[in-house]
Chains A and B, each alone.
Chain A
Amino acid sequence: AQTVTQSQPEMSVQEAETVTLSCTYDTSESDYYLFWYKQPPSRQMILVIRQEAYKQQNATENRFSVNFQKAAKSFSLKISDSQLGDAAMYFCAYRSVQGAQKLVFGQGTRLTINP
């Protein structure tokens, strides 16, 4: 079974600075999707960014970018120019393209933005 590990329970960053959240995963599959979701205090799950494993190019969405290292099974999220509204729980997630296609979440990283 696939597993997702986020080794940083909490992170903090100064407003306008850059922060990187780590994520590693374990799988024997060659094709899959990886995601970063944001969960603010409202607890609504918000998709931040998505990466297809067959794509070598790292996904970017405005201030959010990933560093996808397939061989190392690493998928970190970089947030540039951090804003107060970025404060939330961030979950890394893995989804198979075969079989049950379940979405498996990591433990989460709580990000605090210091003004």
Chain B
Amino acid sequence: GAVVSQHPSWVICKSGTSVKIECRSLDFQATTMFWYRQFPKQSLMLMATSNEGSKATYEQGVEKDKFLINHASLTLSTLTVTSAHPEDSSFYICSVEAAPLAPLHFGNGTRLTVT
């Protein structure tokens, strides 16, 4: 069965609104989760590393005020796209590791469309 649950699987929102994406670890506690973004026909680009109980670590070029990450518990990390614009439309995927350097488990992804 699924190890990581990502919700919603797809969402359409209007420009200027905010959207929250959840990533849940179902089988184990995860101190670290990763958020990726994938544009059509492109690779996965790491956006940020989500650390339970502390601030997320963002990759260069990723706006931390626009992509808010909250890792409030050992099983849940959320990514909020604030004031979404059409250029934020993309596929967002989270991944979780059960232990340091253990193979990553990926969520099914969220397709965000901003109109």
Query: What residues on A are CB-neighbors of B42 within 8 Å?
Result: 107-108
Of all chain A residues, the one with the shortest Cβ separation from B38 is A43
Task: Map CB proximity to B onto A59-95 as digits: 1 under 8 Å, 0 otherwise.
Answer: 0000000000000000000000000000000010001
Cross-chain contact A45 with B34 (CB below 8 angstroms) = no
Number of interface residues of B (CB under 8 A): 19
Which secondary structure dominates chain A's binding surface? loop
Cross-chain contact A102 with B49 (CB below 8 angstroms) = yes
Which secondary structure dominates chain B's binding surface? strand
Query: What residues on B are CB-neighbors of A8 within 8 Å?
Result: none
Of all chain B residues, the one with the shortest Cβ separation from A97 is B101
Bound together, the chains give a CA A33 to CA B108 distance in angstroms of 23
Q: Any chain A CB within 8 A of the CB of B57?
A: yes
Q: Any chain A CB within 8 A of the CB of B106?
A: yes
Q: Any chain B CB within 8 A of the CB of A42?
A: yes
Query: What residues on B are CB-neighbors of A103 within 8 Å?
Result: 34, 46, 95, 104
CB contacts under 8 Å to B, within A13-72, are: 33, 35, 42-45, 47, 50
Query: What residues on B are CB-neighbors of A97 within 8 Å?
Result: 101
Cross-chain contact A43 with B43 (CB below 8 angstroms) = no
CB distance from A92 to the nearest CB of B (A): 10
Measured CB to CB, the residues of A under 8 A from B are 33, 35, 42-45, 47, 50, 91, 95, 97, 100-108
New contact pairs (12) apart from A43-B38, A102-B46, CB-CB < 8 Å: A33-B101, A42-B108, A43-B93, A44-B109, A45-B95, A47-B104, A50-B103, A101-B100, A103-B34, A105-B44, A107-B43, A108-B42
